């Protein structure tokens, strides 16, 4: 049975549709809730993989959120020992930061449904080769990552050049949110912190439009989520097979 470590920053950014998929594959999941326990010092010992979830903070706010430094260090360790690593939104930015890439403000604050397209390398990647040339994916971010040295850009959008990357064969960063369902989207739209963010962008972001668009795109997002996360789970089987190879 594979054991997965999950870094969580706020109670409303969760595994979402990834959670039942992991459980159906027999994963044991341990959450480290840094929002509640900012001084936590988890160990990677005995864990087969790491998922780093999203959050409203910036990766450089280490004085305000010192656990970010802990996470960056642990992400580096996870990459070093070769276990699968997945970062979503802030999580992707933390992975990029741990690999030496710059995190900066995106020209457009993407909130809602945006077109995302796999690029040439993405069309060959097992986690993205089922994407059509243009897919509507849910977004909620103001920052973006540069592609780390040695990593491969997999997807892009007209308003955010770097939407996904792969480092080596088992480390992925997604700027977008494949893990949301309709209930989670509605929960975010009702959160005071997110409502304030949308009010500040009232000329560019309309929660009514997001509510109207969600039923149009959510079923396809679920299909993409199931296929993408299933392929990510396959990385654990590959890792176990590598570990089981006899020494020469």
Select which of 9, 13, 67, 89 is catalytic.
89
Select which of 9, 67, 141, 177 is catalytic.
177
Q: How many helices (H) and strands (E) does the chain have?
A: 7, 9
As beta bridge partners, residue 140 has 111
Distance CA 116, CA 157 (A): 5
CB 54 within 8 A of CB 177: yes
Distance CA 51, CA 7 (A): 6
Distance CA 54, CA 49 (A): 17
Distance CA 241, CA 195 (A): 46
Active site residue 89: yes
Active site residue 179: yes
CB 76 within 8 A of CB 50: no
- What the block records as the tokens of 170 is 């088992």
Distance CA 149, CA 226 (A): 29
* CB proximity list for 37: less than 8 A, separation 6 or greater: none
Alpha helices by DSSP H, listed for 56-205, are 67-81, 90-98, 120-124, 182-190, 192-200
Known catalytic residues are: 89, 177, 179
């Amino acid at each position: 049975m594979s054991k997965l470590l999950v870094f969580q920053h706020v109670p409303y950014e969760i595994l979402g549709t990834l959670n039942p998929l992991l459980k159906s594959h027999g994963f044991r999941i341990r959450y480290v809730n840094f929002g509640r326990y900012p001084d936590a010092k988890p160990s990677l010992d005995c864990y087969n993989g790491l998922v780093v979830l999203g959050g409203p903070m910036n990766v450089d706010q280490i004085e305000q959120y010192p656990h970010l430094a802990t996470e960056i260090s642990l992400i580096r360790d996870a990459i070093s020992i070769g276990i699968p690593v997945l970062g979503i939104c802030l999580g992707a930015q933390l992975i990029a930061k741990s690999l030496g890439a710059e995190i900066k403000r995106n020209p457009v604050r993407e909130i809602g449904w945006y077109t995302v397209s796999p690029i040439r390398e993405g069309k060959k990647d097992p986690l993205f080769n089922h994407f059509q040339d243009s897919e509507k994916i849910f977004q909620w971010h103001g920052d973006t990552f540069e592609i780390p040295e040695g990593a491969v850009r997999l997807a892009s959008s007209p308003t955010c050049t770097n939407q996904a990357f792969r480092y080596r064969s088992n480390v992925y960063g997604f700027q977008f949110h494949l893990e949301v369902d309709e209930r989670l989207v509605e929960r975010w739209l009702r959160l005071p912190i997110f409502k304030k963010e949308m009010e500040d962008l009232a000329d560019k972001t309309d929660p009514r439009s997001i509510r109207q668009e969600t039923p149009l795109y959510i079923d396809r997002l679920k299909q993409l989520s199931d296929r993408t996360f299933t392929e990510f789970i396959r990385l654990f089987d590959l890792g176990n097979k590598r570990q089981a190879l006899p020494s020469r």
